[in-house]
Amino acid sequence: MNLNVLWAPWRIGYVSKASNVRSCIFCDALAKSDAESYIVFRGIRSFIIMNIYPYNTAHVMVAPYRHVPTFELLNDDELLDMIKLVKLSIKAIDLEYKPQGYNVGVNLGNVAGAGVESHLHIHVVPRWLGDTNFMTVIAGTKVIPEDINVTYSRLKKAINSLTNDEHPYIKNN
């Protein structure tokens, strides 16, 4: 049997801590600086944060500030803020990356694929024709072509260019 090895040493931090994590990644991120936690935008009731283990470049998540696991526990203002930030995410990604499509979705519960069940979040994943290439199909390996810090800077810049005083529902911190 020929075994190929893909070195991904940055994953050890996640792998070694995953089974004993008791805190919430979203709540923890809010307590840190935006750059340290990869928060690209803070709205009034929710925020946009980069997925540091992305499916594709510019994969972000929108989460409410309140630590709740399901939609029905949010009030209408929180729900509206989340959807507006999904829209803002798509506009910013369109501006910087020009994808050909998106997967936008929520995994509710562990059996549905939720990595973080206790804090509701919406994934916004840009898609390009051919982004599932031979590496994904043959080797079961996803290639992310851009450094996360570069992606963070690009998205932050795009969001800053899209937000202004005409949009009172969003507040940039």
> How far is the C-alpha of 67 from the C-alpha of 48, rounded, in Å?
15
Residues recognised as catalytic: 121
How large is the C-alpha radius of gyration of the chain?
Answer: 17
How many other β-carbons are positioned within 10 Å of the β-carbon of residue 61? 24
Cα 70–75–80 angle (5° rounding)?
95
CA-CA-CA-CA dihedral for 78, 84, 86, 89, to nearest 10: -130
